[in-house]
Amino acid sequence: MSRLDIFIDRMVSQRACLDYAIGETAALSGPVYELGLGNGRTYHHLVERIVGREIFVFERAVASHPDSTPDEAHTILGDMTQTLPAVLAEKGPVASLIHADMGGHNASKNDAFARFMSPLIAPHLAPGGLVVSSDRMYFDDLEELPIPADAVPGRCFIYRR
């Protein structure tokens, strides 16, 4: 499998899992958290598809496409290992949907980071809320759901509180 194949599988899976999760959580009013803005592709998708929910982005350094850049009030700038606990203390478990796309090109580093981040992410989720992630997460108290038929196994994961 080429890197191009893997990239395409990841993009197709992200869209399928996000669309599924947006629909499943549509009745919830809590905010959506985008963990990792990057180029802003998935943030832009969330903005296009989500109605009536605020979207907050956690990112250490904004470098996104100008069309895909949140305003200051919705940008939580800094290292997520610091900002996630601070936001939890302020807002509590309110997120209806969390999209975690935090990794880079090194699979074993991504796995270690996902393991480290899981207990910092799970407490944000409101009852019935979903996490969509690009890496397998290590949640003690969330249920892993089957991914949609048009997503590729291993390229995205969905968890529910």
Ligand X SMILES: C[S@@+](CC[C@H](N)C(=O)[O-])C[C@H]1O[C@@H](n2cnc3c(N)ncnc32)[C@H](O)[C@@H]1O
Give the whole-angstrom CA distance, residue 88 versus residue 110: 23
Contact (CB, 8 A) for 64 and 101: no
Residue 68 CB, shortest distance to ligand X, in Å, is 7
- Which among 12, 2, 5 has a CA at the least distance from the CA of 156? 12
- Binding of ligand X at residue 59 (CB under 6 A)? yes
Contact (CB, 8 A) for 129 and 98: yes
Number of residues that bind ligand X (CB under 6 A): 17
CA dihedral 49, 118, 101, 63 (to 10 degrees): 100
Q: Given the rule CB under 6 A, which of 15-23, 78-86, 140-148, 153-161 is the region that contacts ligand X?
A: 78-86
Q: Pick from 30, 31, 36, 129 the residue near ligand X by CB under 6 A.
A: 36
Residue 101 CB, shortest distance to ligand X, in Å, is 4
- Binding of ligand X at residue 60 (CB under 6 A)? yes
Q: Given the rule CB under 6 A, which of 16-24, 46-54, 98-106, 150-158 is the region that contacts ligand X?
A: 98-106
Residue 127 CB, shortest distance to ligand X, in Å, is 26
Amino acid at 97: L
Q: Given the rule CB under 6 A, which of 18-26, 87-95, 99-107, 118-126 is the region that contacts ligand X?
A: 99-107
Q: Given the rule CB under 6 A, which of 2-10, 16-24, 30-38, 140-148 is the region that contacts ligand X?
A: 30-38
- Binding of ligand X at residue 42 (CB under 6 A)? yes
Q: Which two tokens stand for residue 124?
A: 């944000």
Site for ligand X in 101-120 (CB under 6 A): 101-103
Backbone angles phi, psi at 99, to 5 degrees: -110, 115
Decide: helix, strand or coil at residue 159. strand
Give the whole-angstrom CA distance, residue 129 versus residue 95: 7
* Contacts with ligand X, residue ranges (CB under 6 A): 36-42, 58-61, 79-81, 101-103
